[in-house]
Structure 1
Amino acid sequence: MLDLQELSLNIPDTAKPRVVIVGGGFGGTNLAKKLSDKYFQVVLFDRQNYHGFWPLLYQVATAGLEPDAIAEPLRKMFDEDYKDFHFRPVRVTHVDPATKMISTLVGDLSYDYLIIATGTKTNYFGNEQIKHFSFPLKRLPDALNLRSQLFQSFEQANMTKSESVRQSLLNIVIVGAGPTGVELAGSLAEMRKHVLPGDYPGMDFSRMNIYLVEGLERVLPPMSPKASRKTQENLEKLGIIIKLKTFVETYDGEVVTFKGGEQIQTRTLIWAAGVMGATIEGLPETTVEKGRYLVNEYNQIQGFADIFAIGDIALMKTEKYPKGHPGVAQPAIQQGIHLAKNLKRIQKGEVLKPFEYFDKGSLAIVGRSKAVADLPGNLHLSGFVAWVAWLFVHIYYLIGFRNKLVVLSNWIYRFFTYESGTRIIIRPFYRKEDKVAEEFMRKQAE
């Protein structure tokens, strides 16, 4: 068995300034791609060895796409042209600004410039019970766990003798009506109508209830009221049960209880209710506000000239964005590209230029020909035109030609057939305390 002590970062020494980037998301990868190894040695850290296109994660969870269709290996993104680029799939555990050193599970490394682009993680608001029993949707393993849970539930519902157990298995509760929750609810509704009746001809899927729960007064709170109204209309036409101004109090894996006492029997509660910054230990608490690093107009973390934060983890307050930029891909992409230019300016002794965000708009899809778009110039689109715009934008920003081709061909095929991919339970999901499921799967494997 390999011992961690046998591993090291194995980063070569350099006479050039070393730029350490923590996080291989939209911000980190765009920054690294724009940095020339003529001026810098670039070291990228991420816990996983791929860059994921998370806006399509819900389609992996509902078997619309396979995991490798929305992910690209980080090493493949940086070929031999990036001669002084180094990637290591390890987690950064600590930052020491005094010694300009970062710590990882397999060793330490000095830096000249540190860029934190760690993004966000699921926020359970301190509720450990919900954290344990619910299904988040932030990473590929989350999507695969949820996919297994959904199709296992359908199979179990088809085999159970108990009506109450069957109903519990067919009830799906999605908490959080932001883009992830809305798009997931729409995808499940279309699956309920067009796919599942063919797979399970003996089951009545009119009894499959999809609940979308939101604590605020409307769905899609980040988008315009007009987009929210249209989205709610589309969701209701699809048969989604929407519960606004509703908060989850507890969930024990079988019963979700809302504040006020209402309860729903369900084996599947999907948590899309919020995120929080994935901060790193070592920086002063004064640099963090509401889980994000406070940065100036150059993305420098408050109090530091050589430590930067970009993307969702960065809180840059401006007159137009007093609460910081929206937590979507575009601010991360633009900040990564802009910071690369500023780092080059530092090396050349030039004056830094402040970051200015260009808002390209927001999009959300509910189902076939059902989407909404808030575009610059106070332009709002809905229906087929917004749906086409959503398709184009998501294909455009996918990494890799192969991924673009695979996703596009999948969508074209689904447009004509309503098929939602290969509904295969590759790795069954069960919780450790579920002894019945564990015993059943053990005997299945014998």
Structure 2
Amino acid sequence: MMQPNIPDTGLPRVVIVGGGFGGINLAKQLRKAPVQVVLLDRNNYHLFQPLLYQVSTAGLEPDSIAFPLRGIFGRQKNLHFRMAEVKGVRPAENTLETGIGEIHYDYLVIATGSNTNFFGNKLIEQHGIGMKSLIEAVQIRNYVIKQFEETLLLADKEEIKSKLTFVIVGGGPTGVEMAGAISELRKYILPKDYPELPLDCMDIYLVEMGPRLLPTMSEFSSAKALEGSQRLGVKVLLNTAVKEYDGQTLLLGNGEKIATKSLIWAAGVKGIPIKGFDKEILLPNGRIMVNEYCQVKGFDNILAIGDIAQMTNDPRFPRGYPMVAQVAIQQGKLVAGNLVKRLQGRSMQPFKYKDLGSLATIGRNKAVAEIGKTKLGGRFAWFIWMAVHLMSLLGFRNKMVVLTNWIYRYFTFDRGTRIIIKRGAANIVKLRQSILHPEQEEVS
């Protein structure tokens, strides 16, 4: 087996798998520690996932929410980044199997994040589409704009209706934000770019299995999200499960059917584990069981943070912490401090999650914000949402590009990136194939 070209510095080697929020914050905190940090990721960039939906609805360019990992750590001398696909781990040998060779570690931190969870429904997985990667977001944008273009060639009203009916499944922040963004495309872009098409030819559904939208937030925020979504013309279906989808017709749990060729799945996520662990520590949702120090159950030198880690010692979150950025960031910082403590022979500190609040945007001038006991809705919450997301972006250029785009869109009601980059993807099946096999794509 080949060995990757990683210098042996003689220092304890900390291998971090994943360049998401948890991985990069852990690596940053180790910049002055007496260790060698090896960061692995299948991509060479950090992706700001909370704004993926804006890329998929022609609001932002892909490179405005991605930042090169080498740019983050260019001055960190103890860090080596390698773009690699992790194949598995051999814990007994402290060895990680990757596409670029075997890598030895003294400490392994798994921060692989999460992916779309279709809950075992193969038909929906085949014909629907998730939104967890940059490729998926760009392909959704291609697909949505292509639906508009192809509809102009049709004469049958039912076929037009089916083509321009978009169903978003999942009433969490991603689903609410996506439904609002598509509704703004209908309101501001459809009459401008496609005046031949009447507005009533396009329907937007938001389907939630539970009794309210934004179930992890308060009743106040749920009510605001429902009211705001309905004002935007989104048809919200609560207490409604999705049963089957064949690419043409969506069958709901109550027996109703919706003719649609566009199903966007935002109903759940699952962890992305690494092969090599016993099934006893892997949960059905793909997460790995960890203790209060983020150590993987049964291992002293293997840790997991962020979406992939399932920690259930906090009575506030008996089913584990929410799969959000703040959990990953705080766990990354804690693990960095604990690794230094271990090297110094000191006791480690258990993880205590500090909830900094929750935000969700519904549409233009519409958002909800919960910070401590304060609950806000409307325009002020929308400005808070924008400020927090803008500050969280990496890179001054990205911040300026996103801010400029937001200001431009606010005053012009325009979306400047409504272009189709790649030919093809004429239907959802082809789209799913391109996402499952991204190496065949040529996304700019």
Superposed pair shares fold, TM > 0.5: yes
Quote how far apart the aligned CAs of 1:38 are.
4.8
Q: Does 1:151 align with 2:145?
A: yes
- Which one-letter code corresponds to 2:367 in the other structure? A
TM-score (norm 2): 0.94
1:389 corresponding residue in structure 2? 384
Q: 1:249 aligns with which of 228, 243, 248?
A: 243
2:66 corresponding residue in structure 1? 71
Q: Does 1:48 align with 2:38?
A: no
Residues 273, 162 of structure 1: CA spacing in aligned structure 2 closer, same or farther, 3 A cutoff?
Answer: same
Q: Does 1:303 align with 2:298?
A: yes
Q: Does 1:9 align with 2:14?
A: no
Quote how far apart the aligned CAs of 1:206 are.
2.2
User: What do the CA deviations read for 1:93-132 (whole angstroms, capped 9, x no partner)?
Assistant: 1111111111012311111000000111111111121111
Q: 1:430 aligns with which of 411, 426, 433?
A: 426
Q: Which blocks of at least 5 consecutive residues in structure 2 are unaligned? A: 431-444
Q: Does 1:212 align with 2:178?
A: no
Q: C-alpha separation between the residues in 2 aligned to 1:209 and 1:393? A: 31
- Which one-letter code corresponds to 2:293 in the other structure? Y
Contact 2:129 2:264 in 1 (8 A): yes
Contact 2:146 2:426 in 1 (8 A): no
1:379 corresponding residue in structure 2? 374
1:229 corresponding residue in structure 2? 223
Q: 2:308 aligns with which of 313, 334, 355?
A: 313
What are the within-5 Å matches in structure 2 for residues 247-396 of structure 1? 247-290=241-284, 291-317=286-312, 318-376=314-372, 378-396=373-391
Q: C-alpha separation between the residues in 2 aligned to 1:75 and 1:36? A: 14
Contact 1:65 1:407 in 2 (8 A): yes
Q: Does 1:421 align with 2:408?
A: no
Contact 1:37 1:85 in 2 (8 A): no
Quote how far apart the aligned CAs of 1:347 are.
0.9
Contact 1:37 1:83 in 2 (8 A): no
Q: C-alpha separation between the residues in 2 aligned to 1:433 and 1:243? A: 25
TM-score (norm 1): 0.93
1:30 corresponding residue in structure 2? 25
Quote how far apart the aligned CAs of 1:37 are.
5.5
SS where residue 92 of structure 2 aligns? coil
2:440 corresponding residue in structure 1? none
Residues 414, 168 of structure 1: CA spacing in aligned structure 2 closer, same or farther, 3 A cutoff?
Answer: same
Q: Does 1:59 align with 2:66?
A: no
- Which one-letter code corresponds to 1:311 in the other structure? G
Q: C-alpha separation between the residues in 1 aligned to 2:27 and 2:363? A: 35
Q: Does 1:106 align with 2:100?
A: yes
Q: C-alpha separation between the residues in 1 aligned to 2:253 and 2:383? A: 39
Bigger mean CA offset, 199-208 vs 108-117: 199-208
Quote how far apart the aligned CAs of 1:243 are.
0.9
User: What do the CA deviations read for 1:337-385 (whole angstroms, capped 9, x no partner)?
Assistant: 1111111111111111111111110000011110001111x21100111
- Which one-letter code corresponds to 2:234 in the other structure? I
SS where residue 129 of structure 1 aligns? helix
2:437 corresponding residue in structure 1? none
Q: Which blocks of at least 5 consecutive residues in structure 1 are unaligned? A: 435-446
- Which one-letter code corresponds to 2:247 in the other structure? G
- Which one-letter code corresponds to 1:211 in the other structure? Y
Q: C-alpha separation between the residues in 2 aligned to 1:313 and 1:214? A: 24
Q: C-alpha separation between the residues in 2 aligned to 1:366 and 1:249? A: 26
Bigger mean CA offset, 261-270 vs 172-181: 261-270
User: What do the CA deviations read for 1:74-105 (whole angstroms, capped 9, x no partner)?
Assistant: 111111x2123111211111111111111012
Q: C-alpha separation between the residues in 2 aligned to 1:386 and 1:425? A: 33
- Which one-letter code corresponds to 2:18 in the other structure? G
What are the within-5 Å matches in structure 2 for residues 173-188 of structure 1? 173-188=167-182
- Which one-letter code corresponds to 1:423 in the other structure? R
User: What do the CA deviations read for 1:250-305 (whole angstroms, capped 9, x no partner)?
Assistant: 21111111123211111110011111111111112222234211111111111111
Q: C-alpha separation between the residues in 2 aligned to 1:267 and 1:311? A: 34
What RMSD over aligned residues (CA atoms) do the two structures have, in Å? 1.4
- Alignment: residue pair count: 427
Contact 1:27 1:117 in 2 (8 A): yes
Quote how far apart the aligned CAs of 1:432 are.
9.5
Contact 1:346 1:352 in 2 (8 A): yes
- Which one-letter code corresponds to 1:159 in the other structure? L
1:438 corresponding residue in structure 2? none
Contact 2:33 2:340 in 1 (8 A): no
SS where residue 289 of structure 1 aligns? coil
Q: C-alpha separation between the residues in 2 aligned to 1:95 and 1:288? A: 14
SS where residue 331 of structure 1 aligns? helix
